[in-house]
Chains A and B, each alone.
Chain A
């Protein structure tokens, strides 16, 4: 295979589309080493403070390449004896500048972006003198790949995050990472960094992790990181410091372990995320191929792979989703001025069951104010408090909180059946039985004890918040505050704004959601709000297909192209079949012509399960009893029919929600589905997917997004599918 001469390429077309790039400059200063030698120290600095990390755009990369060429010349003249690259304070570099990826006009231009990275960073390998990267701070994606292209790496013990998050974004490490990393730290470690971690909520590495994995050769404390790094480089250049790399793959690893490890990772991947998302599999192929061949060949494979991904739909949807989560989630649409929010100095929780106790725990941990819980009788209250105390103890055992903090939290949590102890609470949330009469009466009762300004929040998932408040003297201080299960983990809260809810109440809820470290989306008080209404559509259609006689397998296969984290039946079991049936009933009651209810689902709930599972809980098939229950449908559908019904149904429902202003924009629907239901980045939540498969066009003759969020339409070249 002939390899690319990167020096012969013309990158001017990339520069043309990066007019507003914030350039990260490559500054060079000479540093004296021992024995009269000199180290050229390159600092990457975009001239902004640490809140605007260095990024690597085309102009930046070309400047870096030119700098390296000058240093190569100087090295040839014997003026310098080593080159080291480091970053501005706290930051090495946060990776490629992705803001322009949506504007990449062609497959060739996409490929050029990868080639430019190889062109620039690859020069660290051809300086003629040893090259070092001192990882002084944040090093993500291309930022870390600068280091991988160098001969040696030091790392600061205080670095907050080191990662190759590309797969999380629908990309692959395409500036050398996919080839260099497994050849530096071994295939298993590389799989962990490139594939596993990005899919585990984008987990990052610390300096100590990087050292242990073998990404860094040595670690120094931050106080003298640069001085120590320079001294260490001096030793390496002088030959007095020897570098050993125990994790670097040897012959046996390449012959025996490599393919096996990739095979295991592939199985794990299929199990965990299915086969719809492209980039993890492309990364897997690249890692597998990195077993043999030259660096130049590896780089060329990355060029082709990255070009294909940049041209595809999933990357564009992923970047859209990433921006939603990073930006829109932090500035919720329709949120009133934060200054209106009332301070919360005490929280009351009505109910002492599991959900209520989880709320109490979350509120006390995050707000650190007194939290009082109540229930029908002292026994229930005591049980709730005991649960919370146990959870606090567990946090302490896991060293998540100190003994002092545990004492503080325990002292803040009290339980009572005396409602008068709620009188000085600023915020009262209920988590009682999901029935309108019950919720109305607990609020009516508590209102006798609390001030007219105390904010009331209901965790209802299916009832009308306005109706819950209809018997209140002060309904303006009520809103919905809908958590997702498990409360501690799921990052979304739907804040439900009724026609009566006032601005102060809404502002306070948004601030409280932030303090609970949740993302809040404001919705109108309509059935199911956002997440449950969209899920009810999907699950209703799935059960309807079953009810008409379609086998479970066909239904699952039909919606497989979505690439959802779980099938409809897995999801039903996760939320509980009884809850699932209730959700379908509620939506059917609200919108009888559009949402299906399912008798079968009630029967399945009574039966207890749909899936057959082994002792470890892994699914092995469908439960025989369940199969018997749903037998008898007479008009089965094909997978194609189901897929179209689901897609079109979702388009129709989401369009109605937007027309009805349940939330302000399609972006908010997508944000809710990503954060509340774990729908994947590659779908962009849901609306980019519906646009790109043509469903939006079919249903309402237009698209949710203009222009639609999709690639330039070239499929992945076969060359990467080795």
Chain B
């Protein structure tokens, strides 16, 4: 019988996120190379980990063809120079790919089957536009299993605005503006850079080096946001400014059992407390994190008031607002997305989950008064995912202050 174990987040990294498309910095970089570089960077930062002790490599991608195909976890492990004895596989849960890689590997560790695992994700949306090559079953529409809007993420965000008239476009824009400002401030404070693995980028005019996210627009203003088109609906509310963009990027993290981390002398950045995924109506997929969070809290025996830090994926501003509103949290609550979010840095679908965790882990260090934090994200086709983490730096004295 395998022995149940505590699951710890040892370390996580990501590549800088690029803008998708021909003008983006990763246009000439393969998707698998992005995640391979992330894995190598992760292993180099954790030189105390014997690579042959890695029990599995789970790598997510939404569109698993071409350079994102061929059971990515295995190919990435081989390309990253991990021993051939280390297995790997690929995962897909759209936007929550990397998060699902983490929960899957975390579960395997918690069950006692694994001691060490790598989880991560990659999405090269320039090479693999969302839904490209997909062939949705006609029954979805003919039997009205989902509304037509369900397959268009921007349209689902408009549907949330419809459902909650108090979530105005102005409110979404303001949230987006703060996201840009918080990312800029986090870069200035050096809170983002430590977990970035630089990537050599090739263009027709020579090699360069990606060391920062390409998407942030620190110069954003409310006036500027108010003039943007609403591409999903005329006179709509969702714009390129209050939604995450189309991006390329990869992430990877190292998970371990508590005992293995101790044995190898590895640092522990976070301890996994619980997780949950839940489904909602696909046409309002952005509401997904609400039921998944409630479920995860229930499993953890916690209430929302126990959560001191939130890393919420900003697929759309309105979708984060709906989460905060549901739980009675202000739009500008300082516990939420301290370093900004996907509206500014971008959202290369299946890689974003680990970005949230990297940021929460970094915030834990500077918030010893916080015991629990939460990473959550909405998922296409009407789902939400939530992972609750405990802060190993938690200090009761700090909490009382």
Contact = CB atoms under 8 A, between A and B. Distances in A.
Do A and B share a complex?
A: yes
> Which of A31, A41, A86 has the largest count of B CB atoms less than 10 A from its CB?
A31
Interface stretch (A220-228, A248-256, A363-371, A527-535): A220-228
A42 B206 contact: yes
B329 interface: no
B79 interface: yes
B111 to A, nearest CB: 32
Contacts of A27: 205-206
Contact of A32 (B41, B206, B211): B211
A41 B41 contact: no
Contacts of B164: none
B202 A29 contact: no
Contacts of A41: 206-209
B40 interface: yes
Contacts of B81: 221, 223
Interface string B123-137: 000000000000000
Nearest to A89: B202
A45 interface: yes
B36 interface: yes
The residue in A27, A42, A45, A227 that gathers the most chain B C-beta atoms within 10 A of its C-beta is A227
Nearest to B28: A89
A43 B207 contact: yes
B206 to A, nearest CB: 3
B199 A29 contact: no
A702 to B, nearest CB: 51
Contacts of A155: none
Interface in B331-361: none
Interface string B202-218: 11111111010000000
B37 interface: yes
Contacts of B36: 223
B200 interface: yes
B198 A227 contact: yes
Contacts of B198: 227, 230-231
Interface string A341-358: 000000000000000000
Interface residues of B, number: 21
Nearest to A26: B206
B80 interface: yes
A28 interface: yes
Interface residues of A, number: 19
B209 A224 contact: no
Interface string A5-47: 0000000000000000000000111011000000001110101
B188 to A, nearest CB: 14
Contacts of B37: 223-224, 227
A29 B210 CA distance: 12
A114 to B, nearest CB: 28
Nearest to A225: B200
A89 B36 CA distance: 17
A226 B207 contact: yes
Interface in B176-209: 197-200, 202-209
Nearest to A43: B206
Interface in B1-44: 33, 36-37, 40-41
A226 B206 contact: no
B79 A223 contact: yes
B40 A224 contact: yes
A556 to B, nearest CB: 56
Contacts of B200: 224, 226-227, 230
A226 B208 CA distance: 9
Nearest to B80: A223
Contacts of A86: 207
Contacts of B202: 89
B209 A227 contact: yes
Contacts of A224: 37, 40-41, 200
Contact of B208 (A31, A47, A223): A31
B197 to A, nearest CB: 8
Contacts of B40: 221, 223-224
B163 to A, nearest CB: 45
B119 to A, nearest CB: 19
Nearest to B199: A227
Contacts of B207: 29, 41, 43, 86, 226
Contact of A29 (B197, B206, B211): B206
A29 B79 contact: no
A48 B37 CA distance: 26
Interface in B195-253: 197-200, 202-209, 211
A457 B206 CA distance: 53
A43 to B, nearest CB: 3
A31 B208 CA distance: 6
A22 to B, nearest CB: 16
B388 to A, nearest CB: 34
A520 to B, nearest CB: 38
Nearest to A32: B211
Contacts of A28: 206
B126 to A, nearest CB: 19
Interface in A200-233: 221, 223-224, 226-227, 230-231
Contacts of B79: 223
A394 B266 CA distance: 47
Nearest to B33: A223
B308 to A, nearest CB: 33
B192 to A, nearest CB: 14
B369 to A, nearest CB: 32
A555 B36 CA distance: 66
A43 B209 CA distance: 12
A29 B202 CA distance: 10
B205 A29 contact: yes
A227 B197 CA distance: 9
B209 A32 contact: yes
A221 B37 CA distance: 11
B208 A29 contact: yes
Nearest to A29: B208
A41 B33 CA distance: 21
Nearest to A221: B81
Interface string B77-96: 00111000000000000000
Nearest to B211: A32
B370 to A, nearest CB: 31
A103 B208 CA distance: 38
**Residue of B41, B79, B197, B198 most packed against chain A (CB within 10 A):** B198
B201 to A, nearest CB: 9
Best-buried of B36, B80, B200 by chain A (most CB within 10 Å): B200
B23 to A, nearest CB: 15
Nearest to B198: A227
A31 B201 CA distance: 11
Interface of B: 33, 36-37, 40-41, 79-81, 197-200, 202-209, 211
* Closest 10 pairs between A and B when the two form their complex, measured CB to CB: A27-B206, A43-B206, A226-B200, A31-B209, A29-B208, A27-B205, A43-B207, A29-B206, A227-B198, A224-B40
Given A28-B206, A224-B200, A227-B200, 19 more contacts: A27-B206, A29-B205, A29-B207, A32-B209, A41-B207, A42-B206, A43-B205, A43-B206, A43-B207, A45-B204, A86-B207, A89-B202, A223-B33, A223-B37, A223-B40, A226-B209, A227-B37, A227-B199, A230-B209
11 contacts: A27-B205, A29-B205, A29-B206, A29-B208, A31-B208, A32-B209, A32-B211, A47-B204, A86-B207, A227-B197, A227-B200
